[in-house]
Amino acid sequence: MSAATSAAMIELLNNYIAGEWVAGTGEGVTLSDPVTGEALVRVSSEGLDLPNAFRHARNEAGGALRALTYAQRAARLADAAKVLQAKRDDYYAIALANSGTTRNDSAVDIDGGIFTLSYYAKLGASLGDVHVLRDGPASALSKDQSFSVQHVLTPTRGVALFINAFNFPAWGLWEKAAPALLSGVPVIVKPATATAWLTQRMVADVVDAGILPRGSLSVICGSSAGLLDQVQAFDVVSFTGSAETAATLRAHPAFVARGARLNVEADSLNSAILCADAQPHTPAFELFINEVVREMTVKSGQKCTAIRRAFVPEATLDAVIDALTTKLSKVIVGNPRNDAVRMGSLVSHAQYVNVLAGIAALREEGVLAYDGSSASPVDADPAIAACVAPHLFVVNDPDNATLLHNVEVFGPVASVAPYRVARHAEALPEAHAVALARRGEGSLVASIYSNDDAHLGRLAVELADSHGRVHAVSPSVQHSQTGHGNVMPMSLHGGPGRAGGGEELGGLRALGFYHRRSAIQACATAIDALAQLAHLPAP
Burial 166-204 (b: 16+ CB within 10 A, else e): bbbbbbbbbbbbbbbbbbbbbbbbbbbbbbbbbbbbbbe
Q: Determine which helix (DSSP H) or strand (DSSP E) holds 262, and give its type and residue range.
A: strand 261-265
Q: Name the amino acid, one letter, at 450.
A: S
The residue among 387, 399, 394 whose CA lies nearest residue 356 is: 387
List, for residues 402-427, the tens digit of each pLDDT value.
999 999 999 999 999 999 999 887 78
Between CA 299 and CA 316 the distance in angstroms is 28
Residue 220 in this model has a pLDDT that exceeds 50 = yes
In degrees and rounded to multiples of 5, residue 440 shows phi and psi of -70, -10
The residue among 55, 27, 81 whose CA lies nearest residue 218 is: 55
pLDDT class of 487 with cuts at 50, 70, 90: very high
Angle CA(117)–CA(197)–CA(296) in degrees, nearest 5?
A: 70
Query: Would you say the C-alpha torsion 47, 49, 51, 57 has a positive or negative sign?
Result: negative
Alpha helices in 18-168 (DSSP H): 50-56, 62-67, 70-86, 88-99, 103-125
Residue 16 in this model has a pLDDT that exceeds 90 = yes
Q: Counting runs of H as helices and runs of E as strands, what totals does the chain give?
A: 17, 23
pLDDT class of 368 with cuts at 50, 70, 90: very high
Between CA 243 and CA 385 the distance in angstroms is 28
Counting residues of the chain whose pLDDT is more than 70, the rounded percentage is 98
List, for residues 321-348, the tens digit of each pLDDT value.
999 999 999 999 999 999 999 999 999 9
Q: CATH 3.40.605.10 occupies which residues in the chain? A: 3-266+504-535
Mean pLDDT of 244-249: 93
pLDDT class of 8 with cuts at 50, 70, 90: low
- Predicted pLDDT of residue 426: 78
146 exposure class (CB count in 10 Å sphere: 0-12, 13-18, 19+): exposed
List, for residues 371-392, the tens digit of each pLDDT value.
999 889 999 999 999 999 999 9
Mean pLDDT of 94-100: 98
- What average pLDDT does the structure give for the chain? 95
Compute CA distances 85 → 89, 115, 202, 253, 458, whole Å: 9, 9, 10, 40, 41
Mean pLDDT of 496-518: 97
Between CA 385 and CA 166 the distance in angstroms is 17
- Predicted pLDDT of residue 538: 55
Mean pLDDT of 153-162: 97
- Predicted pLDDT of residue 4: 41
Q: Are 217 and 203 in contact (CB under 8 A)?
A: yes
Q: Are strands 515-523 and 147-155 parallel, antiparallel or unpaired?
A: antiparallel
Q: Within 10 Å of residue 347's Cβ, how many Cβ atoms? A: 28
List, for residues 115-144, the tens digit of each pLDDT value.
999 999 999 999 999 999 999 999 999 999
Residue 84 in this model has a pLDDT that exceeds 70 = yes
Q: Name the amino acid, one letter, at 299.
A: K
Q: Are 301 and 391 in contact (CB under 8 A)?
A: no
Cα 356 from chain centre = 23
Compute CA distances 40 → 34, 99, 402, whole Å: 10, 11, 41
Counting residues of the chain whose pLDDT is more than 90, the rounded percentage is 93
3-state helix, strand, coil in the chain (%, to 5): 40, 20, 40
- Predicted pLDDT of residue 374: 87
- Predicted pLDDT of residue 526: 92
Model pTM above 0.85: yes
Between CA 358 and CA 475 the distance in angstroms is 35
Residues designated as active site:
265, 304
Mean pLDDT of 272-297: 98
In degrees and rounded to multiples of 5, residue 472 shows phi and psi of -100, 125
Q: Give the chain's end-to-end CA distance (angstroms, integer).
A: 63
pLDDT class of 7 with cuts at 50, 70, 90: low
CATH code for the domain defined by 3-266+504-535: 3.40.605.10
Q: CATH 3.40.309.10 occupies which residues in the chain? A: 271-488
Residue 1 in this model has a pLDDT that exceeds 60 = no
Mean pLDDT of 429-456: 97
- Predicted pLDDT of residue 532: 80
CATH code for the domain defined by 271-488: 3.40.309.10
pLDDT class of 197 with cuts at 50, 70, 90: very high
